[in-house]
Structure 1
């Protein structure tokens, strides 16, 4: 399956650390190429929704996440091949430092992904208060793993032309690597940040203007034409087919611009409608997750507790993460929606919620000593901390019977949150997961469920947790078969 697809040229934009400027540079290059009628397939390395959302907007097409912890290497390769087929070039934004992974071998690192996909790397160098040392750092990156092809560097956060000249001269003399761009320090207003990174593109009031600014910065300071030529001409070693015991291949990935009719491999009613809660408060969804539901015959209907009081006729609800804390007053004020959701939950409507969705299922969230009422489905009360309360990859074992996962299953996911549980009322069997990696809701437990409602801090990726979409569809079909529900 992998070998039958043509590999599209691509580039990995990497840095020496997180916060080095990779995202804005990736956005600018993507937008600049798109403005020149180059079709760009955007990808984000690692578990990330915010940067991926900006990349999707810059490219004008979905951005897919590539993660070798959440998914088997063969699945990551197949995803890259499938989702770049109709494009001229692929843009892969790395995360953290080039060689940073979860162990001494660099597992899950950006460098591992670059080798897996056989892509050249452009390294972003934050040159703040440094000149000749940048050449030494670059030389170290080049020699640390000779199999990584660093095809160029982009200098970032330069203090001026004199600073730029010194850094350029040292890199050209000692490293023999082309400097493809040099950026001055940029104003933060174009891409403001908050506790979980950049403000999302959905919430940014002038996101199109910010992308236009990033595009102009790239055109003014980066040789995007030369970068394109270097990426297109990169021969590489050919994409190897890997064999990974965790999973053999990607589920059917739709490479057409228009969705294909999904096949139905389940008994019962042929189609169900999944309500997906998506607005500026809840926007953390992997495209692969929604596509997995569609591929199994589901219709997707978007709903919003910010703008709707009634919940449309759906057979299940999927609530992703986001920022309910920044919309707490508006969510709390919409009592009609909260009451309707709670009533449907009590009638057995399958509800699956992650992180921000979990908070909304709880009783309240306290922000600056003000308590905002949430849906009240699960007996949880939340607050917000100034420091991350859970950050990184997770691994869970399913230890209790629940509506969505079989006991004994081991799932991989991730969590990133500043929220914390202030109080909870639960029994020994009310949480499905035992955390073998990560923090979860409380005491290394996660996956709080009641009736057919399930809330968890662990985000999953449908191509890695392949049981998730079929399980949600099966629950939706059971609910639909039970007959109409009258509130």
Structure 2
């Protein structure tokens, strides 16, 4: 498949510059103009894609040369280009941060980088920052930049005048409350928790219109081969997936893979439901159980239903927030202790700072499951892990606990990276870890 479409990588010199809201506002602006907008997110992230899906009205997938693989990056973009009027990719951190970085993805895909630079407290230095981004890597040219949070039209003029030849100011966005969105310890507040998100996005889109940013970026030609369909390893297997305000960190690609392998998916709410759907396997994904500990602890019928599933030896995957729910006790940030599932001995406790962050791989004889970790809690348990994930640098990282049919870890897996391993987990089959293999680099 091959198609040409306007496209841009929305990036920044670093985190906190406002690129997430600028990406969302651009998506909503062009959607409101009647265009079909497809947005992607570089790297592991659950929260930004939730907002970007609301902004664009289209599904959002992750792109990362290591986690999702280069071929999948090419295929997803080329597939989107066949009927999209605009493609936006939101970068992660700063343009050149990480390995592989947003710049690496942009170069690989041939998509121009469009940095958003927070211009507060800045005048001519804005031009120096833009020049540095444009010249740091000759293979990653920067032709346009966006000034964010300017103080006045005169401020915008000064920024434009500071730019060196060859770099254009695409737009100067004024400071405006419409360009803000609430956040918390893991990132943006979940889209489903913001009842006025559509109104916020429409208002943000209007700010960009007034800033003269309603034009399209340059067209890019994207092409790729169709991927080989995954083997049908889960025919008729019924998987019940927790999905509500406490359990929401789910990649669309993970759901797509499970269905492509033949699984039947149903969803339930550990917060609101009292019974489980008929299921052969359970998946408790990550999320914010620490914000809903009291509600989870009070829902004894649901806790008992999950315990019964576990005690019957049926398959169960618990990732990060799911792991925290499986232990005897969860201590929230206020020091309140909530009695939860009690499948694992011990306690999960919220900490005052980030405890782990980064890309990792789980190496097994059934394949290498790639993914990441990002958590603010600690775990005390007597259980010994069956395996540990490994960072890209090769050092050991998150423990992976296995007991009866339960597989539990702080690690978030990207299922398409290891279909056979994932299918085995949901069929209750044991896996053999490989301890001498480091995660392969992109």
Q: TM-score, normalised by structure 1?
A: 0.82
Question: Is 1:413 matched with 2:410?
Answer: no
Match of 1:454 among 393, 401, 407: 407
**Structure 2 match to 1:466:** 419
Q: Choose from 29, 33, 36 the match for 2:30.
A: 33
Residue in 1 aligned with 2:295?
330
Work out whether 1:54 is the aligned partner of 2:64: no
Checking the alignment, whether the CA contact within 8 Å between 1:75 and 1:463 is kept in structure 2 is: no
Q: 2:176 aligns with which of 163, 186, 211?
A: 186
Partners of 1:390 and 1:77 in 2: CA distance? 30
Q: Equivalent residue for 1:197?
A: 187
Equivalent position to 1:284, from 249, 258, 263: 249
How many residue pairs are counted as aligned between the two chains?
426
1:75 has 2:69 as partner: no
1:148-172 CA-to-partner distances (Å, cap 9, x unmatched) read 242321101212223222111111x
Partner Cα separation in structure 1 for residue 165 and residue 12 of structure 2: 17
The range that moved more, 282-291 or 202-211, is: 202-211
Root mean square deviation, CA, Å = 2.4
Superposed CA offset, 1:93-147 (max 9, x none): 0111111123xxxxx1111111111111211111121111111111121112222
SS at match of 1:215: helix
State the 1:325 CA deviation. Answer: 0.8
Q: State which of 97, 122, 127 in structure 1 corresponds to 2:94.
A: 97
Q: Answer yes or no: is 1:164 the counterpart of 2:122.
A: no
Distance 1:222 1:417, change over 3 A: farther
Moved more, 466-475 or 80-89: 466-475
Deviation at 1:322, TM superposition (A): 0.7
Q: Which residue of 2 aligns with 1:436?
A: 390
Superposition deviation, residue 412 in structure 1: 2.6
Deviation (angstroms), 1:216? 1.9
User: Which stretch shows the higher mean deviation, 199-208 or 55-64?
Assistant: 199-208
Closer, same or farther in 2 for the Cα pair 1:122/1:348, shift >3 Å? same
2:362 corresponds in structure 1 to 396
- Kindly provide the CA deviation profile for residues 194-237 of structure 1, in whole angstroms up to 9, marking residues without a partner as x: 11111110222322222222222222224222xx1x323x5xxx
SS in 2 for 1:6: strand
1:425 is paired with a residue whose SS is: coil
| Displacement of 1:471 | 2.1
Q: Which residue of 1 aligns with 2:112?
A: 120
CA distance in 2, matches of 1:377, 1:67: 34
- 1:87-486 equivalent positions in 2, closer than 5 A: 87-102=84-99, 108-171=100-163, 174-187=164-177, 190-225=180-215, 228=216, 230-232=217-219, 234=220, 250-252=227-229, 265-266=232-233, 270-367=235-332, 368-398=334-364, 406=365, 409-421=367-379, 423-427=380-384, 431-437=385-391, 444-475=397-428
1:449–1:461 distance in 2 versus 1, CA, 3 Å: same
Partners of 1:270 and 1:163 lie apart in 2 by: 61
3-state secondary structure, aligned to 2:121? coil
For 2:263 and 2:44, the matched residues in 1 are separated by: 25
Q: Contact 2:3 / 2:223 at 8 angstroms: preserved in 1? A: no
Shift of 1:191: 0.7
For 1:445 and 1:110, the matched residues in 2 are separated by 25
Q: Tell me: CA distance 1:83–1:470, structure 2 relative to 1, closer, same or farther (3 Å).
A: farther
Question: In the aligned structure 2, how far is the partner of 1:316 from the partner of 1:152?
Answer: 49
Q: Residues of 2 paired with 1:468 and 1:305: CA distance? A: 26
Q: TM-score, with normalisation over the residues of structure 2?
A: 0.90
Greater shift, 61-70 or 83-92, is seen at 83-92
Check whether the contact 2:12–2:115 (CA below 8 A) recurs between aligned residues: yes
CA contact (8 A) 1:13 1:22 kept: yes
* Counterparts in 2 of 1:211 and 1:191: CA distance versus 1, 3 Å: same
